[in-house]
Chain A
Amino acid sequence: MRVSRGEKIFYFINYIVLTLIALSCILPLLNVASLSLSGAAAVASGRVSIWPVDFSFFSYSSLFKGTPIIRAFFNSLQITLIGTALSMITTIMAAYPLSRRQFYARRFFTMAMVFTMIFNGGLIPTYLVIQSLGLVNSYAALWLPALVSTYNMLLMRSAFEQLPREVDEAAKIDGCGELGVLFRVVLPLSKPMLATLALFYGVGFWNSFMSVLIYINDTAKFNMTVLVQNMIRSTSMIQDFSDPTMLANITPEGIRSAAVIVMIIPILAVYPLLQKYFVKGVMLGSIKG
């Protein structure tokens, strides 16, 4: 393949720019990782930069022994996997009809949904609604109110709308109803966007903090975010004169860093798996047929 000189220069500069950006992004993470693997005194006196000093696993062992982080991890997993599945299904149920030109009152529904993105009643009214449904202290209180993120739904609708009409019509000629078009045409061709939105929902559920804090009463059901935030805030919040015991409970920075790393690793592991859906020219074969 002939690659022009102009193109070669472009690719070269591209590689350099991207590498620099990536470096800037990875350094802070290296710092946190190093803090989590360094000795206590080194961490406290600020001697750690991007490589561990006095290599030690004590932060991780204190974290796993001294806190219920394993249980919290599995809670997070459960909340995320089921929540994402439910949200994806419901969002498809919302985006698909709105993407069909013949659907009644499309404009009205869309406007009504965008309205809810902008206006909301606040913490207490929402809590009262959830409570009246008897959902307090169950994970349903986390899943049900989050079934559809209007933002994500609009993105999905946009992806559905972008598909060319010919493919729809081809399927209909084959005898598919609306549902058939959804499952045989629209969904398979929208894999990149679906993967992206699954990632968005997944990350959202994984990181859910306020909702877990407010709706879940049993600490055994807490997820990792709440647990880790509890640890982190004991140092970042304003020193509390009224609480002598608090001083004894300040989590050393090393343990905090270990907690951050444990939280981030699953997220980092998931993205490469989703990248395989970002394949170019998914559409290519379908139109010609």
Chain B
Amino acid sequence: MAIDTLIEVLARYEAVIGLEIHTEITAARTKMFCGCPVAFGGEPNTRVCPVCLGMPGALPVPNEAAVEWTLLAGLATECDIALWSQFHRKHYFYPDMPKDYQISQYDLPFCSGGFVEVEVDGDGVAERADIGGSMPFVGPEAVAEGSGYRTRIGITRIHLEEDTGKMVHVGGAEGRISGATHSFVDFNRAGTPLMELVTEPDIRTPEEARRFAQKLRSIWLALGVSDCNMEEGSMRVDANVSVRPRGSSEFGTKSEIKNLNSFKALHDAIEYEIVRQAATLDAGRAVSQETRHWDAGARRTSGLRSKEEAHDYRYFPEPDMVPFNFDPEWVDSLAERLPEMPDARRDRYIAQYGLRKHDASALAGEFAFACFFEETAGIAGLDRSKQVVNWMLGELTALLKAQGSELSDVRVTPAMLAELVALIEDGGISGKQAKDVFAEMAETGDPPGAIVEDRGMKQVSDVAEIEAAVSRVLEAHPAEVASYRAGKQTLIGFFVGQVMRETRGQGNPRVVNEALRRMLG
């Protein structure tokens, strides 16, 4: 799917996108309504009890930590916290539903009316055909460095509910539902506390959607509410997409896209869907309201044909639990417990470490990176922050990308990186040597000092030793010395090369240069 196609479409149609993001509260030790432990995987049906199995006579009792986490999530995203709230029952029949109703929230969600600001730069900017937009939103402003814009995505609500069980389908293609002959149902996950966040339809491009999801993930990670692991399903994103001709104020028919297992899939699926819907409208047909499934292999969405009538969830207030009536002072005290959020962290990095905004954003936006950076800078010293940043955003990032691994997987530790930076700065090794050392320490896990020792890489900075080498070189090349002194200053390069050969490449360039100039005169 060429980006040109998308951009061509977006010149004629406006895309209206909203996201629904489900996040498991993996910070909780137990399930939402019972004391079974929350974890991923494990032998099927071994983390269950009468409550989360929906046995006859079992009753739900809400997990206070999960409620608190949800309120914190709302506070972290500028939401209003409902002082009066309750759970509702949402009815539908499905094999992974232990009670055939889900305990969720309806018209009294814990959090509502928040927002997240998203910045788009780079290629993603091109997707935004009209920076003005026909929906009210904050911005846009050009991002300080380079071209880009900022947009505010409203959060309609965040509510709390319970996750379903899991099914494994047998007999169909790739474990998919269609063509399956039978299925196995595992209720280990059933009852896990789940936050559902719904955005306002403020998103206009696939890239904005991706950035929003990434930003939200970084906020959740900074908060500590979830491990946000999209492969394991602790964070799941669905997108609602519709298009309308530019200038129109009526909403088009929306489709819901599911099965988005990565932020890239989120971007690509929305892109595909926008183009598909535009083509449908261009051909004079109507877009049907349906759920569509993203096929990452075939890179297309397909409709889930179903016999199901439109959902009638028959919501009513959950009679097995009493309502919530929060003390406003208590809610305020929760706000004080919020840890530092990514935007605040970014601003602090600019102020405290003197980083450029782009670098600060890159580090602050990824919680694990931010922690690694602060620890490394703490050991290396504030004055070496910029070098630390360069290594992290340069070699370290490249390494992660090449290996396809996470920061927690690599053998490089903050202490090791700090030591490496010190070795360069204190003249132990050259920048080029350092790259080799980095590669080796990433592979072996050996500290850089040891590697430098073993390989005899230590840079020679001792002035006397260098002068001795320079002396030998000058003695060996009297003709060039004479030429240099006669005015051929460009020969300095020749002499530097010779001294480096003499010192087996380990001469500290700065010291060599100074010594040469001194001794050449």
Chains A and B form a bound pair: no
Interface residues of B (CB under 8 A from A): none
